[in-house]
Amino acid sequence: MPISGFPEWLPAQRIIEQRVIDRIRSTFELYGFAPLETRSVEPLETLLSKGETSKEVYLLHRLQAEDGAVGQDDQLGLHFDLTVPFARYVVENAGKLVFPFRRYQIQKVWRGERPQEGRYREFLQADIDVVNRDILPFHYDTEMPLVIGDALAGLPIPAARIQVNNRKVCEGFYRGLGLSDTDQVLRTVDKLDKIGPARVAEQLVGTAGASEAQAAACLDLAAISAEDASFVDAVRKLGVTDPLLDEGLEELVRVVETAREHAPGLVVAELKIARGLDYYTGTVYETQLRGYERFGSVCSGGRYDNLASSGKDRFPGVGISIGVSRMLGVLFGQQALSVSRSVPTCVLVALPNEEQRAACDRIAAALRRRGIPAEVAPTAAKFGKQIQYADRRGIPYVWFPGDQDEVKDIRSGAQEPASADSWAPPAEDLHPVVTGA
């Protein structure tokens, strides 16, 4: 009954996911990004106007649509990312927004992949973007990796390593090298991790009009990697010059050096990074978790100067997107995350008999008023069975009403007198705790 590509988590996994989302969201808000949601659907023409993912769209049809009638509905598709809808939203609401506009957006997206590929067809993304009118200052490109680094550093997961490149470096280099179809070169180099350098060289010669020497130079560029500005010298040594290359190198240096100052070890210039989608025009980001490099990028994005425009108005932007479902799917698959309990409940109020349910409800209400998650036992079963109810869910405390109420830590067995108006658990027991492997 599971449907291929539409993952569903068990309750404990969902608690972990919720905690991860909470951490991401609170970090985004600490940096001043405003929450935003867009509708799940876009007109098909909006979806098809941007790059290569057009083939993966789900279209909607009303079940009861009149036979053969082609109405507005026939043009609607589920969004496949959050950037294209955001660009549309900005243009549509430009008169009501204040720029530069910083927003985060945490929503499901859908891709109509063929079922047999085993890829996600529904998944959660967590995006931040900054968009401005006319010109967006470059320093926002340097801010994106810092926000992501901060968000992920607060989670019990392997350290993130953000790989950065700049399209201007690649395009300028290819142009300076004498290659004119720079898009085709980029697309081919993008396959490096999949097909290896020999076949990339072969395809550069075969489909992008490169000589063998030019192909070799492209591979030399792609091999460059550094955690500081030293990559500039490595590029210069390849002997190619071009104004766009200069501009790209200068931008890339700023991203790497800013990260080095504020978050050492987080960012690396990796000149093979290209990103498949067409709409990026400068900085591009990919992110791997250390030890999980083989699972690919969990957080990607870049600068897009031409995604949103309306008449003579342009709205350049830069953004980055955490693939929450993808990241958790990988970590769950490796048993790399666990949680202390499968329910929010901190205290189970035991029920001596059904006549005392109202009194027990009042105890639970008193605990809740002070922020302590509590529930009352489902039935007045023997206390042993009620303790088992708590134990099976990982609820740490059972409350026994009486002339003098008592509360028991069922992990240690310690039991002590307590009042619902004043007792509090240790802070670490209040909510489920997520831990790494």
Residues 112-151 that bind a copy of itself (CB under 8 A): 112, 114-115, 122, 132, 137, 139, 150
Give the DSSP H/E element, type plus range, for residue 167: helix 167-176
Of 20, 23, 35, 265, the one binding a copy of itself (CB under 8 A) is 35
What are residue 316's phi and psi, to 5 degrees?
-70, 150
Q: Of the ranges 60-68, 173-181, 277-285, 410-418, which one interacts with a copy of itself (CB under 8 A)?
A: 60-68
The reply to whether 355 sits near a copy of itself by the rule CB under 8 A is no
Can residue 270 be called a binding residue for a copy of itself (CB under 8 A)? Answer: no
Contacts of 59 (CB under 8 A, 6+ apart): 44, 74, 76, 77
- Does residue 82 interact with a copy of itself by CB under 8 A? no
- The yes or no reply on residue 278 touching a copy of itself (CB under 8 A) is no
41 interacts with a copy of itself by CB under 8 A: yes
Residue 399 as a binder of a copy of itself (CB under 8 A): the answer is no
Nearest to 27 by CA among 132, 149, 164: 149
Task: Report how far residue 130's alpha carbon sits from residue 87's, in angstroms, rounded to the nearest whole number.
Answer: 11
User: How, if at all, do strands 347-349 and 397-400 pair?
Assistant: parallel
Alpha carbon distance 337, 393 (integer Å): 17
Using rule CB under 8 A, residue 97 touches a copy of itself: yes
Among 67, 68, 70, 98, binds a copy of itself (CB under 8 A): 98
- DSSP letters spanning 328-359: HHHHHHTT-EEES-SSS-SEEEP-S-GGGHHH
Site for a copy of itself in 2-31 (CB under 8 A): 2-4, 6-11, 14-15, 17-18, 29-31
Q: Which amino acid is at 61?
A: H
- Closest distance to a copy of itself from the beta carbon of 29 (Å): 4
Instruction: Choose which of 45, 67, 68, 96 interacts with a copy of itself (CB under 8 A).
Output: 96
Number of residues that bind a copy of itself (CB under 8 A): 90
**In the complex, least distance from residue 116 CB atom to a copy of itself, rounded to whole angstroms:** 10
Q: How many CA atoms lie within 13 A of 241 on its CB side?
A: 0
3-class DSSP assignment, residue 312: coil
Other C-beta atoms lying within 10 Å of the C-beta of residue 342: 17
Angle at 32 between CA 28 and CA 36, to 5 degrees: 70
Shortest distance in whole angstroms from residue 404 CB to a copy of itself: 24
Kindly tell me which of 139 and 290 has the beta carbon lying closer to a copy of itself: 139
When asked if residue 425 is in the footprint of a copy of itself (CB under 8 A), the reply is no
| Of positions 44, 94, 234, 238, contacts a copy of itself by CB under 8 A | 44
Q: Tokens standing for 8? A: 């569903």
Sites for a copy of itself among residues 219-258 (CB under 8 A): 258
Q: Which is nearer to a copy of itself, 119 or 175 (CB)?
A: 119
Parallel/antiparallel/unpaired status of strands 34-35 and 101-110? parallel
User: By C-beta, is 152 or 224 nearer to a copy of itself?
Assistant: 152
CB of 372 to a copy of itself, least distance (A): 8
Segment near a copy of itself (CB under 8 A); pick from 160-168, 272-280, 362-370, 406-414: 362-370
Q: How far apart are CA 228 and CA 257, in angstroms?
A: 6
* Binders in 327-346 for a copy of itself, by CB under 8 A: 342-345
How far apart, in whole angstroms, are the C-alpha atoms of residue 243 and residue 398? 70
Is the distance from CB of 110 to CB of 121 less than 8 angstroms? yes
